[in-house]
Each structure stands twice: as C-alpha cells, then as structure tokens.
Amino acid sequence: MKTAIITGGLGFIGSNLIRALTQNNYFIINIDKISYASNIKNIFSDIKNYKFYKLDINQKDKFIDIVKKYNPDKIFNLAAETHVDRSIENPKNFIKSNILGVFCILESLREYKKSNKKKIKLIHISTDEVYGDIKLGKKSIETDRYNPSSPYAASKASSDLLIYSYIRTYKIPAIITNCCNNYGPGQFPEKLIPTIIYNLIKDNNIPIYGNGKNMREWIYVDDHCDALIKVSDQGILGEQYNVGSGIKLNNIEVTKKIISLFKKINNKHCNSKIIFVKDRPGHDVCYSLNSSKIKQKTKWRPKNSFDIGIKKTIEWYIEKFDTSFFNKKNYGKRIGLIK
C-alpha cells in the first residue's frame, strides 16, 4: 500500500482525488484548513485507510511533523484559494495560501530531505490560467511563457516558478500539472457550472458575465484525477504536464447544454433564463491546452464526454448540494467588481 498526503482534500478536486486514490490502494492523509469551499460530505467516514488533519499548510512545523510521522510516497498539493472573483476582491488570501503555503510545503520537504533518504514526490496541481489569454484556435504548451491575468492566476504562476527553483536548487522531486476547467460533483456554487445548476434548481435566472463568449476547455473531475495518479506514477520528475480534455465550449454553449439536460433529468417546467451581467475585470477570452505530452508519456486519455460528465454532475447537485457545504450564505453573491 502506498501513502499519500493530499492537501485541500475537503475541496472539489481534492475530495474526488481521495476517492480515486482509495480505489488504487493508498493510505490517505488529508490536510485541509476547512474553508467556505470545503464540503461536509467529504469527511470520508466510510474510508478505512484515511486520516484527516485540520491544518493550514502555512503551519510549517505541524506540517513537517505530519510528513515525518507518515513518510508518504507522494504529496498532492491541492490546497489553494481558487476563485478568480475572490482574488480580485481580496488578493492577499491568494498570496498567503497559493504562494506562501507552497513555500511552506517546499521548506518542509527541504528539511525532511536533510535527514531522510526517502524521496517524497510532490505533485503540484496548477492551472491553465498561468498561460493567460490565448488567441482562438491556439493551444498553450508546457514551454510557453507564463502570462497570468488575475491575482489568482498570478499566485498559481508564482508557486509553479517557486517549485521549479526548488527542483533545480535543492533537488526536490516535484512534478507540476496544469489542468483546464474542471466540473463535477462537490464544487462550491460560485464557479460557472455549479452556479448554473444551482440557479436551475432554485428556478432563478442564470447570470452570465459579459457577452458569454469566453471560451474554456472543460474536463470532468474524474478524468483530471486519473491524470494526476498516472502522472504521479509515470511522469518525469522536474517536468510539467498539461491536462486538457480537448472539449472547448463558450459560456453560452455550456449554459444552454446544461439547461437542456437539466430539463430532461428533472422532467418539469423550468422558468430560468440567461441574463447577461457586467463582465469580470480582466476577463480572459480563451484558454486551451495542448495535452500531447501527458498522452504520450502516460497513455492517459479523458473518458467522459461533456454530456456524460454533466449528467452525473446535475444528478449530484439535485440530490446532495443543499446539505453539502459549510457556508450556505454566499451562494450566487456577486463579488470581484471594481467600483
């Protein structure tokens, strides 16, 4: 049995990754500070080989104690502030978790390495947003220059670069992955897809930023988790891997597809309409990834079409979302507008 520390394992992708790892014979240590984005359903009381620590990754001494206690084979770092609008509203939290937090993890690994022969692999989960806006029809590759637009993207870009410096200088065994937009069960309803589904469930109108033409590549979360496990086993240390599905849709296309599927699944009349609202400041028009490298190296392929993934997602929200999150007050509240 392998041992893995997951940071941010009460969040959207981390919780789905924990489920995937337990099916691959892992002992899991989940470290999460428990924030508004954490999911109560992710306490994992049904999993045997599992430990949870309520901890901010910035608490370096406690973090290193956990690392020394369990001597994990891998650390998957998913602890982060993740919502672009929140980063526009309050960038400081993003610097703290996404840059200083990663610095603490790196320092812990540097300290661990001084007295331990075991190589702990760090898998750092980053985003396509580090590459910034690209022209329609183009795709970002791993060697492209970073060009982040939001404080969120800049904080992720910073942590990627910090990790590169620790790989080179201190020989920390790390791999960085840059994934496109995820969707699936358990995402806090402030990002596009859970916001659409939430409003459909409540029969509210669906707010779309700007003209709705912003294009993203969309991956079902299980496919991302599968890629992370494959990269952690087969990826080359010190390298970076893009993870994309190849499924590109603009926000209006996403919304229309979800409305149509929601009506079929729910089988009742729905009054929700699309309404266009003021755009996000600095809103990137298009992200798209070239994911040839991971496909060649690990033979990973995404398995879920958008229709299949969205069906599973809608079903989860209809059944579970009302009782899932710690913070019920801020669903749908607009933030991140510069006055």
Nearest to 100 by CA among 69, 44, 48, 60: 60
Tell me the per-residue interface mask from 135 to 164 with ligand NAD, x by CB under 6 A, - otherwise: ---------------------x--------
Q: Is 128 a catalytic residue?
A: yes
- Taking a C-beta distance cutoff of 8 angstroms, is the pair 325, 12 a contact? no
* CA dist., res. 40 & res. 54, Å (int): 13
- Taking a C-beta distance cutoff of 8 angstroms, is the pair 5, 29 a contact? yes
Kindly list the distances between the CA atom of residue 298 and the CA atoms of 32, 173, 238, 290, in Å, as whole numbers in the listed order.
Answer: 29, 18, 16, 15
Q: Is 46 a catalytic residue?
A: no
67 near ligand NAD, judged by CB under 6 A: no
37 near ligand NAD, judged by CB under 6 A: yes
Size of the residue set binding ligand NAD (CB under 6 A): 30
Catalytic residue among 81, 128, 217, 223: 128
* CA dist., res. 217 & res. 254, Å (int): 11
175 near ligand NAD, judged by CB under 6 A: no
* Crossing angle of the two packed helices 192-202 and 306-320, in degrees rounded to 10: 50
> Kindly report the CA angle at 109 between 52 and 78, in degrees rounded to 5?
45
Of 58 and 204, CB closest to ligand NAD: 58
For strands 248-250 and 215-220, give the pairing.
Answer: antiparallel
Of 54 and 273, CB closest to ligand NAD: 54
* Contact with ligand NAD (CB under 6 A) among 6, 18, 57, 286: 57
Other beta carbons within 10 Å of 146? 17
Q: Is 319 a catalytic residue?
A: no
Catalytic residue among 81, 129, 222, 284: 129
- Taking a C-beta distance cutoff of 8 angstroms, is the pair 54, 34 a contact? yes
* Contact with ligand NAD (CB under 6 A) among 4, 5, 6, 8: 8
Catalytic residue among 152, 166, 183, 317: 152
34 near ligand NAD, judged by CB under 6 A: yes
Interacting positions 73-132 with ligand NAD (CB under 6 A)? 78-82, 97, 101, 125, 127
Q: Please, what is the minimum distance in Å from the beta carbon of residue 268 to ligand NAD?
A: 30
* Contact with ligand NAD (CB under 6 A) among 6, 26, 32, 289: 32
Q: Please, what is the minimum distance in Å from the beta carbon of residue 48 to ligand NAD?
A: 22
Of 22 and 59, CB closest to ligand NAD: 59
* CA dist., res. 184 & res. 324, Å (int): 14
Provide the token pair at 10.
């009460």
The residues carrying an active-site annotation are: 128-129, 152
Which stretches of the chain bind ligand NAD, using CB under 6 A? Answer: 7-8, 10-14, 32-35, 37-38, 56-58, 78-82, 97, 101, 125, 127, 156, 179, 181-182, 188
